[in-house]
Amino acid sequence: MLCTSRHGSSSVRTTPLHPRFGVEIYGIDLRAVTAEKGYPEIREAFEAHSLLLFRGQQLDDDTHQALGSLFGPIEDRTMGKSGPKPPMDIMTNRLPDGTIAGEHEILTLDLIKLHCHIEPDQTEEDELLTTYEMAARLHAENYLRYQIDQPLGENIQLALLMLIAHWYRNREAVSTGRTTQGVMMPLAVTDLLAMERDYPSYT
């Protein structure tokens, strides 16, 4: 469908990804987005749908940083250890062997390492990552109100990966900068799991 925003633009086309969550956006080259051009429509869509998908974009790190900064200060969770610019997180369904993970791919240690930017041959923290994976499953099962079985749905798989990476990078509670209360689980994890949650029915 064609999305006409309150900013007067009608060049943004969207397709729903889910009845309650997320849209795919067409007609925007993210390399050309500025605070005045493109960003207002993107921000409006983000506020309305929480998740935006842009296919086929070619962004280098500098362009990606510039785009992210339009949404606010970029948080460096490495505490400056990676230099003046925080590293860019890459989310992909391409496994270390070059194959593409299926929709219900089992959550493997190699996939966890790929998501956390850890080389496959680095094994020093394998036990820690396995512990995080078990804890993430228990956390998700407690939220979902049912036991997670293989194969994993894509929403649950992505939520587990995000939660594991969050714990891996932050060994204690973190602050968003807007509040002094620590954030124990990224908001996107809750959004993804909410779509799979077993909600009680009332009669």
pLDDT tens digits, 72-111: 887 765 666 666 666 666 666 666 677 766 554 568 888 8
**Average pLDDT value for the chain:** 78
Same domain assignment for residues 94 and 78: no
Same domain assignment for residues 185 and 102: yes
Same domain assignment for residues 83 and 95: no
Q: Is the pLDDT of residue 137 over 70?
A: yes
* Cα separation values, 59 from 66, 114, 167, 173, Å: 10, 20, 27, 31
Output phi, psi for 194, to 5 deg: -60, -30
Q: Is the pLDDT of residue 12 over 80?
A: no
Compute the distance between CA of residue 161 and CA of residue 103 in angstroms, rounded to an integer.
14
Contacts (Cβ under 8 Å, ≥6 apart) of 174: 77, 182, 183
Same domain assignment for residues 197 and 108: yes
Q: Is the pLDDT of residue 37 over 80?
A: yes
| Overall domain count for the chain | 2
Query: For 144-168, what is the mean pLDDT?
Result: 86
What global pTM score does this model have?
0.47
Q: What is the pLDDT of residue 128?
A: 92
The residue segments making up the domain with residue 37 are: 1-88
Same domain assignment for residues 120 and 48: no
Higher-confidence residue of 29 and 86: namely: 29
Same domain assignment for residues 95 and 83: no
Q: What DSSP character marks residue 12? A: E
Output phi, psi for 100, to 5 deg: -95, 130
Same domain assignment for residues 143 and 104: yes
